[in-house]
A and B are shown apart, each in its own frame.
Chain A
Amino acid sequence: MSGGTSSLTARRHRVVQERAIGTLLFACGAISVLTTIGIVAVLLSQSAGFFAEVSPIEFLTGTRWSPQLVPQSFGILPLVNGTLIIALGSSLIAIPIGLASAIYLSEYAQARTRRLIKPILEILAGIPTVVYGYFGIMFVTPILRAVFPHTGIFNAASASIVVGIMILPMVSSLSEDALNAVPRSLREAAYALGATKFEVSTRVVTPAALSGIVASFILAVSRAIGETMAVTLAAGATPRMTLNPLESVQTMTAYIVQVSLGDTPYGSLEYRTIFAVGLVLFLITLAMNLLSQKITRRFREVYE
């Protein structure tokens, strides 16, 4: 009788323990939700104070950004312009070169070569961004200045080049995965119709993998938009509505860094700009990430 009771207690003890562990593990998962809520809450609440003093319309349509100068001016477009120049410039490097690398690795290279080269390219993505900043200023900019004498010490071009190199493996790896997922039967059917390898690669395999390829482009551009240290170091700190890549610009991320490096008083209007700019940055990258996920899910061709 007493034995039965103790085994019952033991079992009850175990049930309680199991339930406690389940709750604990759930709490670990919930932290990721809390992180998102935290990000949104911080950005919205702090920006609210900013938008109480600066109209959102002026903020989103103004073409002059000078929170540190009198008269202050809070038009975010120059920062958006700087960010877009870098995003566009780095895409011009990373998208064609990344896609061509992916096609080579997936369609031309032997399995052994691919296993060797893919991790080597991925090292590029693992190098800290501050190192790319150093490389941009100390290596790329001097070359640009030798070729184009009017290039500024800080310029959008060198930042675009190093960011392009940085996001290259993202395009090449993810696109290669997409190309690899195209079934052999499609290639063989095209060969049977007399297509050359070039035609099979560019007119059959690449279109079939297009959703994955486009998703990789969007993710890479989103990474370029959120990139901070390389652009802070190489592109400078001049918010400007220019399209000339040889001039210095300032991106949204570089502005946020500039403010936190300075001694801006906590709670001032200038201090709050980092949250308003951060909110715009967060919304842009979130939209792009969601779009990329949607493209992968919606347009994925499911074979077999």
Chain B
Amino acid sequence: MNGPSLAPRGGRFEPRIAARQRTGRIFRGLCLAAVGFGILSLLVLLVDVTKDGLHVLSLDFLTRYPSRLPARAGIRSAILGSLWMMGLVTLLAFPLGVGAAVYLEEYATKNWFTRMLQTNIANLAGVPSIVYGILGLAVFVRFLAFGRSVLAGAATLALLALPVVIISAQEAIRAVPSSLREASYGLGASRWQTIQHHVLPVAMPGILTGTILALSRAIGETAPLIMIGALTFIAFDPKTPLDPFTVLPIQIFNWTADARTPFHDLAAGAIVVLLVVLLLMNATAILLRNKYQRKL
């Protein structure tokens, strides 16, 4: 007794509606459980890290240099290194990324070169971060002889962040209504005047959101900086871009990999600090996005 097939590919018609709906309820339960698994994982991770790390947090922990003695160790040099990274990566990646996005959206003609450029950027976004580390090691540390410095690290992370900055800036620029451009052209403005005074100001909140998100990814990166030789034990403040440095994720890695248990809690403490920084950055990005969405 084959009825007309309900399913597009194979499967017989099952006339017992109660049984079919029971299957449906089980399926729905499984799907809900899957969502629950993700949320629960996040909660367990955050609680586990906070439980381990909260007790080491203190002003001393934030302002002391690392030490062989866990009771006297702190993350001063790691915080300073991460701040250096944040500043320099922004200085490098933001103008380059926005420039590339403006070129692609406002200047480039639709030809094979532009298509190649676009595909290339999409692919760069998928290159593993450690490969950027290999590039940074060969180009910035060795070839340009920056050494194992703040500058070499920031340049490497800037290249890593660049594709994400470009793609999100492009989206923000694309969302600017073309009527705005046409009105500006109609009043006799040149292309750059139009971009400078009308397109970029309107797109800026979106561009900033994407940049902050890209930056927060760069701040959490460890592998490329290990590749370029960021040191783990720095007991001084990096003062110039050519000084050696460490960053929070490397300090976390170093303490986690240590066989001695007291250092693991220090790692957890540093993780809490890192996550708070990332949370603040993401909150800023979300606030900007909400403001932006209201405006249009």
- A residues near B (Cβ < 8 Å) are 14, 17-18, 21-22, 24-29, 31-33, 35-36, 38-39, 42-43, 46, 96-98, 100-101, 103-105, 108-109, 117, 119-121, 123-124, 126-135, 137-139, 165, 168-169, 172, 193-199, 201-204, 207, 219, 222-223, 225-229, 232-233, 253, 256-257, 260-261, 266, 274-275, 278, 281-282, 285-286, 289-290, 293
Judge whether A228 and B130 touch: CB under 8 Å: yes
With contacts A130-B220, A134-B252, A260-B227 taken as known, whether A274 is within 8 angstroms of B100 at the C-beta atoms is: no
Q: How far is the CA of A165 from the CA of B38 in the complex (A)?
A: 7
- The 10 A-B residue pairs with the shortest CB-CB distance, nearest first, are A226-B128, A128-B220, A28-B99, A198-B24, A100-B34, A104-B31, A25-B103, A228-B223, A289-B126, A28-B100
Let me know if B256 and A233 touch, CB within 8 A.
yes
- A257 to chain B minimum Cβ distance, whole angstroms, is 6
On chain B, the residues within 8 Å of A17 by CB distance are 192
Could you tell me if A290 and B123 are in contact, using CB atoms closer than 8 angstroms?
yes
List 21 A-B residue pairs with CB atoms under 8 Å apart, sorted by A's residue number. A26-B107, A28-B96, A28-B100, A29-B117, A108-B31, A117-B39, A119-B286, A120-B38, A121-B42, A127-B278, A128-B249, A138-B52, A197-B24, A227-B128, A256-B130, A257-B223, A257-B226, A278-B131, A289-B123, A289-B126, A293-B122
Q: Cβ of B131 and Cβ of A282 under 8 Å apart?
A: yes
Identity of the chain B residue whose Cβ is nearest the Cβ of A219 in the assembled complex: B126
Write out the residue numbers on chain B whose beta carbons fall within 8 Å of the beta carbon of A120: 38-39, 42
- Distance of A183 from chain B, by nearest CB (Å): 15
CB-nearest residue of chain A to B24: A198
Residues A134 and B34 in contact, CB atoms below 8 Å apart? no
Does B74 belong to the interface (CB within 8 Å)? no
> Do the beta carbons of A134 and B249 come within 8 Å of each other?
no
Find the B residue at minimum CB distance from A32. Answer: B121
Beta-carbon contact of B274 and A199 below 8 Å: no
- Residue-wise interface mask of B (118-152) relative to A, using a CB-CB cutoff of 8 A (1 in contact, 0 not): 01111110111111111101110010000000000
Minimum CB–CB distance from B221 to chain A (whole Å) comes to 7
Expressed in whole angstroms, the minimum distance between the Cβ of B181 and any Cβ of chain A is 15
Judged by a CB distance under 8 angstroms, whether B275 is at the interface is: yes
- Are B129 and A134 touching (Cβ within 8 A)? no
Q: By the criterion CB–CB under 8 Å, are B130 and A130 in contact?
A: no
Stretch at the interface among B3-11, B59-67, B201-209, B235-243: B3-11
Who on chain A is nearest to B13 by CB? A194
Residue of B nearest to A253 (CB): B130
Return chain A residues, CB-CB under 8 Å to B166: 32
Partner of A127, one of B45, B98, B104: B45
Smallest Cβ-Cβ distance to B37: which chain A residue: A97
**Is B257 within 8 A of A233, CB to CB?**
yes
Beyond A21-B192, A203-B9, whether A285 also contacts B127 by CB under 8 A is yes
A131 partner, pick from B32, B49, B192, beta carbons under 8 A: B49
CA–CA, A219 to B123, complex, Å?
11
Residues of A within 8 A of B234 (CB): none
Measured between beta carbons, the chain B residues less than 8 angstroms from A43 are: 131, 134
| Beta-carbon contact of A32 and B271 below 8 Å | no
Once bound together, how far apart are the Cα atoms of A102 and B28, in whole Å?
12
Kindly report which residue of chain A lies nearest to residue B26, judged by CB atoms.
A198
CB distance from B93 to the nearest CB of A (A): 10
CB–CB A228/B129 < 8 A = yes
What distance in Å separates the Cβ of B271 from its nearest Cβ neighbour in chain A?
A: 5
Among B33, B45, B128, B133, the one with the most A-chain Cβ atoms within 10 Å of its Cβ is B128
- Whether B107 lies near A229 (C-beta < 8 A) is no
Distance to closest chain A CB from B274 (angstroms): 7
**Which partner residue on chain A sits nearest B44 by CB separation?**
A139
Query: A115 to chain B: closest CB distance in Å?
Result: 12
In the complex the two chains form, is B117's CB within 8 Å of A134's CB? no
Whether A285 touches B128, Cβ cut-off 8 Å, given contacts A121-B38, A172-B38, A197-B24, is yes
Kindly report which residue of chain A lies nearest to residue B116, judged by CB atoms.
A33
Q: Are B31 and A100 interface neighbours, CB within 8 A?
A: yes
Most chain B CB atoms below 10 A, which of A127, A202, A223, A233: A127
Interchain CB contact (< 8 A) of A260 among B34, B120, B137, B221: B137
Chain A residues closer than 8 Å to B222, beta-carbon distance: 128-130, 228-229
Q: Is B187's beta carbon under 8 Å from chain A?
A: no
Interface string of B269-281 (1 = CB under 8 A from A): 0010011001000
Bound Cα distance from A278 to B105, whole angstroms = 33
Nearest-Cβ distance from residue B174 to partner chain A, whole angstroms: 15
Docked complex Cα distance between A128 and B252 (Å)? 11
Candidates A133, A202, A261; contact of B27 at CB < 8 Å? A202
Chain A residue numbers with a CB within 8 Å of B159 are 35
Contact check: which of B21, B102, B127, B223 meets A282 at CB < 8 Å?
Answer: B127
Known interface pairs A108-B28, A203-B8, A256-B227. Does A39 touch B252 (Cβ–Cβ under 8 Å)?
no
Q: CB within 8 A of B134: which of A22, A32, A98, A256?
A: A256
For A14, A32, A124, A290, the residue with the greatest tally of chain B CB atoms inside 10 Å of its CB is A32
- Chain B, range 64-116, C-beta contacts under 8 Å to A: 95-100, 102-104, 107-108, 116
Q: Contacts A123-B42, A196-B21 known; A101 to B221 CB distance under 8 Å?
A: no
* Known interface pairs A17-B192, A26-B107, A130-B220; A135-B99 also in contact (CB < 8 Å): no
